Amino acid sequence: MSEEEEEKQKNIDKELEKSEVSEESQAKSHGEILKEQICEGKKIYSLSTSSIIMSSLTAGLEIGFSYMMLCSVFYFFSDSLAEESLFKIIALVYPLGFILVVLGQSILFTEQTSLLTLPVLNRQHSVVSLLRLWGLVIFGNLLGGTLIGLVLVWIGPKLGIFDVETVITIGTHVADFGLPTILVSAILAGWMMGLLSWLVTSSKDTVSRIIIIFLITATMAFTSLHHSIIGNIEVFAAYISGSEITIGQYVSVQSTALIGNAIGGAFFVALLKYRAFVNNVN
């Protein structure tokens, strides 16, 4: 790092230090939110590997409650509503798992993507450490999602809350797009999830956070944007339930969604929010 870059970084750190949350203020400033996000991101970097995997595994399991509810609602109203309408009303229950994960502070890849990128942009961690952390979180999220998917595919028909046909219909709906479409859709979803993290940090009470989580994730569901973690459960469950989805299709859809989500959170939220702050620092 050159002397000029070092001086610039010192000025950035000074500006961040000035950003202290005021209890009397109605809204946090850009600098206050950014400082909190960087601090939260640094805490995750300091966790042990086992702690990161367990927390991300928990998030993958908990997000399954969204899948359970959207399958149940889809099945319950399948005799009275058209399929196009069913894919819209499930947006009302889609946020459940996200509320459990975010408020419970489990590590969800899409919600943490921008959060984990900020310490790298602020030169406190390396890109290699970021990629390692992303890998651990993705592994835990996907493993948790796969496990809960196996459980729900078995218990759903047993309880009569949904059937195998519902599982296959929802899974094929997620996977039935070209890869370029899935990529752009996933970028938009990652962008929204990064904003969710940013807005949750800007909020001071639990009710506001629940409303933010509900609005953003319900919008994602209503517009069928591709979220790699709950999408993993949707497509995997359909794959093990019938022949409509192949293993190759599952892998290609899932990898494309992960890449898109990472781009959306890291670039459109972390980088742009960070640059909007530092460009104003002399």
**In this structure, which long-range contacts are made by residues 38-42, counting pairs with CB atoms below 8 Å and at least 24 apart in sequence?**
38/118, 38/119, 38/122, 38/124, 40/115, 40/201, 41/112, 41/115, 41/116, 41/117, 41/118, 41/119, 42/119, 42/124, 42/125
Q: Which of 221, 84, 93, 245 is nearest to 168 (CA)?
A: 245
Contact 110, 265 (CB under 8 A): yes
pLDDT digits (tens, 9 = 90+) for 154-197: 999 999 999 999 999 999 999 999 999 999 999 999 999 999 99
* % of the chain exceeding 90 in pLDDT: 87
The yes-or-no verdict on residue 140 having pLDDT over 70 is: yes
Q: Residue 22 above 60 pLDDT? A: no
Residue 111, classed as helix, strand or coil, is helix
**Can you tell me the distance from the alpha carbon of 70 to that of 95, in angstroms, rounded to the nearest whole number?**
10
Question: What value does the mean pLDDT take over residues 2-25?
Answer: 67
Give the range among 12-16, 21-25, 106-110 with minimum mean pLDDT: 21-25
With a cut of 90, say whether residue 6 has pLDDT above it: no
Query: What pLDDT, on the 0 to 100 scale, is given for residue 132?
Result: 97
pLDDT given at position 134: 97
Q: Which string of DSSP letters, residue by residue, matches 175-218?
A: H-S-HHHHHHHHHHHHHHHHHHHHHHHH--SHHHHHHHHHHHHH
Q: State how far the Cα of 48 lies from the Cα of 40, in Å rounded to an integer.
A: 15
| Angle value at C-alpha 225, between 162 and 53, nearest 5 degrees | 75
State yes or no: pLDDT of 74 exceeds 70.
Answer: yes
Residue 18 has pLDDT above 90, yes or no: no
What pLDDT score does 139 carry?
A: 98
Find the length of the chain.
282
Cβ atoms of 162 and 74 closer than 8 Å: yes
| 88-128 per-position pLDDT tens digit | 999 999 999 999 999 999 999 999 999 999 999 999 999 99
Angstrom distance (rounded) from CA 103 to CA 119: 22
Please determine, for residue 23, whether its predicted confidence score (pLDDT) is greater than 70. no
- Residue 2 confidence (pLDDT) above 80: no
Between 253 and 11, the higher pLDDT residue: 253
Q: Kindly indicate the confidence band of residue 20, based on its pLDDT and cuts at 50, 70 and 90.
A: low
Q: How far apart are CA 8 and CA 121, in angstroms?
A: 13
Residue 3 has pLDDT above 90, yes or no: no
Q: Which CATH number fits domain 30-278: 3.100.10.10, 1.20.1080.10, 3.40.630.10, 2.40.30.10?
A: 1.20.1080.10
- Which pLDDT score is estimated for 282? 58
Going from N- to C-terminal start, the domains of the chain cover 30-278
How far is residue 5's CA from residue 65's CA, in Å, rounded to a whole number? 47
CA atoms of 176 and 25, how far apart (whole Å): 47
pLDDT of residue 25: 53
User: Is residue 279 over pLDDT 90?
Assistant: no
